[in-house]
Amino acid sequence: MHHGMVDQLRHERDRFVAFAFASADILLELDEEGNILFADGATRGLLGRNAEEMQGQNFYQLLTTEDETQMRDVIASLDNKYRMEDIEITLFSKHNDKMPFGVSGFRLSSLRNHTYLSLSILKGDVSTDQLFRRDFDTGLLRTQGYVESANEKILEAQAQGKKLNITLLDFPELKEFIDGLPEDAANLLLREISDYIRGKSLDGDTAGMINPEAYSFVHDGSVEPAQMIKDIIVITQKADPKGKGIEVRSKTIKADPGVLTKQDSANALLYTLNMFASNAGAGFSIDSLSSGYAKMLDETMLKMTAFKETVNDSDFKLAFQPIVDLKSGLIHHYEVLVRINNTEKFSNPFDFITFGEQAGIIGDFDLLMCQKVFEVLARTARQGNRPMVAVNISGKSLGSLLFKDALRKLLAMNKKTRKQVIFEVTESAKIDDMQAANTFLQELRLEGNLCCLDDFGTGESSFEYLRNLQVDFIKIDGSYVRESLQTPRGRHMLKAMAGLCRDLNVTTIGEMVEDEKAAALLWEAGVKFGQGYLFGKPDVDEETIIHCKKPTPFYQGMMRAKRFDKKDRAWWSAAN
């Protein structure tokens, strides 16, 4: 056949394949018995099998019993005139995870009665967590999926009076070792190691990859981690052209959730594993992490208890710091901060709040803070004062339906004072669903609450937040204010941020304003409000907020500077 004709046919084939993948995730060709002759698409990512593994599998054996019967009947009824469309089925992945698909298909008698199927994942029926619950390169559960599976087994064993263990495996040289192998050999080695670990885990599927060089699994007392290490080293030696293999380290602890609830136990385990993952590698010793994983888990349990007691007993104080109009010196509103009484487990408020976010329990505290703020506002209202205050809400809380429902009820109970509250969204915990978070913020704004993004510029997601969340204020992190005092580049960055926010009709607040030079610089950059020791330190006396809308005694505003014209001076006189 002429080369030009071959190229044309290949082009036509590729075009049809491209059209098919435009509306499908996986393409399959079945023979008359349902055996898969051809597979392509996201088979690895969705089903844990690459295309070669899929070939030779019987399609019907991948289905539930009910779906198998349905599909056999439907495919048997197909002919050249009709096709099946959008039938919902469930396929089992290589590791028995259930994945819902919509399937369409056609059978051609001219092609030996083969059936051609296109499968699309039903995203409305499967969460992102489900889709990415497992690392398909290793077959192991990812951290979140592993925690859920491990916690369920641990609590189940506790109820039955059985004892389980958790073992952590640290491979400090694995990534470098894998990178030095041919791709096929590297993939095979990862599979051998992972399959071995899974085989030793409870029920064969309570093993997780915490990061590429840190694994963990749940097991009973019959498993000997020391022997496992020897076996895994042998596996790596066989793959090593030099026969040396790699180092493997382990730490085993008793899996005892104590008196924690199921959710708190899962949160504690997740927090501890995340700390293990973030510290593994880079000079990390598996025995040096808070003197070992066991001690760290114990410490997590103690912190969890201390956090809960702080919330349940309201064992903290509110502190109020003014946010000031840089032009007039008038206090616009106060930010409500927390002062923790229990300094044994939490050295400062940041440590307390960060732990709550990382452990997934910050929502209870955020709600209690809002409740305490409304109690303060009710007291000041009886004195004839209606100050504006800003209260922080974690990005984690915005992702909780329970928190949002509880906050709605709290706001409904405080209709007279709710508009005095500004909600500051903190960036220390990433928001997973931006659209849902923005929908809730707009709900708050429609009801009269102003909203603010806190610590803007410190995290990787700052501009993503600004793009996706419609707010009234942006609080520029104090690090930018300090840098603007030191370098021209810092001043340009500050001015650029203020200009962007101004174009978006968002008002800016500068943090850490320690002296009048910083205040002047912020004003020149286009920032409207300032917060810092120049205007006032946080004060636990709630009477301080009655000074809202009045000049701060520590700052006279920019009006006294000669750069302002007569019109501005007239405004200043009227305002004071």
Q: Judge whether 424 and 509 are in contact, CB under 8 Å.
A: no
**Please, what is the average pLDDT of the chain?**
81
pLDDT digits (tens, 9 = 90+) for 139-183: 788 777 787 777 778 777 777 778 888 888 888 888 889 888 988
Query: Do residue 278 and residue 318 come from a single domain?
Result: no
Query: Do residue 172 and residue 257 come from a single domain?
Result: yes
**What's phi and psi for 129, nearest 5 deg?**
-60, -40
Query: Do residue 207 and residue 287 come from a single domain?
Result: yes
Please enumerate in sequence order all residues whose Cβ is within 8 A of that of 260, keeping only pairs 6 or more positions apart, or say none.
268, 301, 304, 305
Quick check: is 475 in a domain? no
Residue at a domain's end among 92, 126, 160: 126
Helices 478-486 & 516-525 angle (0-180, nearest 10): 100
Instruction: Count the residues in the chain.
Output: 576
Q: What pLDDT is stored for residue 168 in this prediction?
A: 83
pLDDT digits (tens, 9 = 90+) for 440-476: 999 999 999 999 999 887 665 677 888 889 999 999 9
Three-state secondary structure readout of 22-43: HCCCEEEEECCCCEEEEEEECH
What average pLDDT does this structure show over 124-147? 66
Pairing outcome for strands 26-30 and 114-121 = antiparallel
Range of the domain at 82: 3-126
Q: What pLDDT is stored for residue 382 in this prediction?
A: 92
- 541: domain CATH number is 3.20.20.450
Query: Do residue 435 and residue 333 come from a single domain?
Result: yes
Three-state secondary structure readout of 53-95: HHCCCEHHHHECHHHHHHHHHHHHCCCCCCCEEEEEEEEECCC
Which DSSP letter does residue 282 get? T
Q: What pLDDT is stored for residue 84 in this prediction?
A: 76
pLDDT at residue 94 above 70? yes
Q: Judge whether 254 and 165 are in contact, CB under 8 Å.
A: yes
pLDDT at residue 185 above 50? yes
Q: What pLDDT is stored for residue 284 in this prediction?
A: 41
Helices 262-279 & 349-358 angle (0-180, nearest 10): 110
Q: Which residue has the higher pLDDT, 382 or 172?
A: 382
Confidence label for 562 from pLDDT (cuts 50, 70 and 90) = very low
Q: What pLDDT is stored for residue 21 in this prediction?
A: 45
CA distances from 191 to 132, 185, 416, 439, 470 (A): 18, 10, 62, 43, 46
Query: Do residue 280 and residue 419 come from a single domain?
Result: no
Residue at a domain's end among 68, 100, 126: 126
Q: Is the pTM of this model over 0.75?
A: no
Q: Judge whether 136 and 97 are in contact, CB under 8 Å.
A: no
Query: Do residue 80 and residue 219 come from a single domain?
Result: no
- 99: domain CATH number is 3.30.450.20
Q: What pLDDT is stored for residue 339 in this prediction?
A: 93
Question: What is the strand order of the sheet 207-211 is part of?
Answer: 134-135, 140-141, 207-211, 214-219, 165-170, 249-254
Task: Spell out a b/e string for 77-100, using b for 16 or more CB atoms within 10 Å of the CB, else e.
Answer: ebeeeeebeeeebebebbbebebe
> DSSP 3-state helix, strand, coil percentages of the chain (rounded to 5)?
50, 20, 30
Query: Do residue 114 and residue 173 come from a single domain?
Result: no
Q: Structural domain tally of the chain?
A: 3
